[in-house]
Amino acid sequence: MSSPSSPVLQRLFRLDRSSPDFHDQLEDVLYGPEYVQCEQTLEGDDPVWLIDYLEEVRCYIALPHSPLKPV
């Protein structure tokens, strides 16, 4: 994955995915005021980069039971 041009997305790119604090750091960036401002103005390949990045780093949560069957 190539590096994005947006400074805020570059912060995401530089996060250490192997860190146990990765998801907390990711949340800090995504809920920070810089990201909120930049998300409206992403252009070029940056929106596609962001979608691909979030697909790669998403966290799966295992449910203890099926959400379709009552406990």
pLDDT at 14 (0 to 100) = 92
Instruction: Please tell me the total count of domains within the chain.
Output: 1
12 part of a folded domain: yes
25 part of a folded domain: yes
pLDDT at 52 (0 to 100) = 92
69 pLDDT tier (thresholds 50, 70, 90): low
Token pair, residue 9, equals 């997305």
Distance CA 8, CA 62 (A): 30
Mean pLDDT of 28-48: 86
37 part of a folded domain: yes
23 lies in which domain range? 7-57
66 part of a folded domain: no
| pTM for this prediction | 0.72
Token pair, residue 6, equals 């947006």
16 pLDDT tier (thresholds 50, 70, 90): very high
Mean pLDDT of 43-67: 81
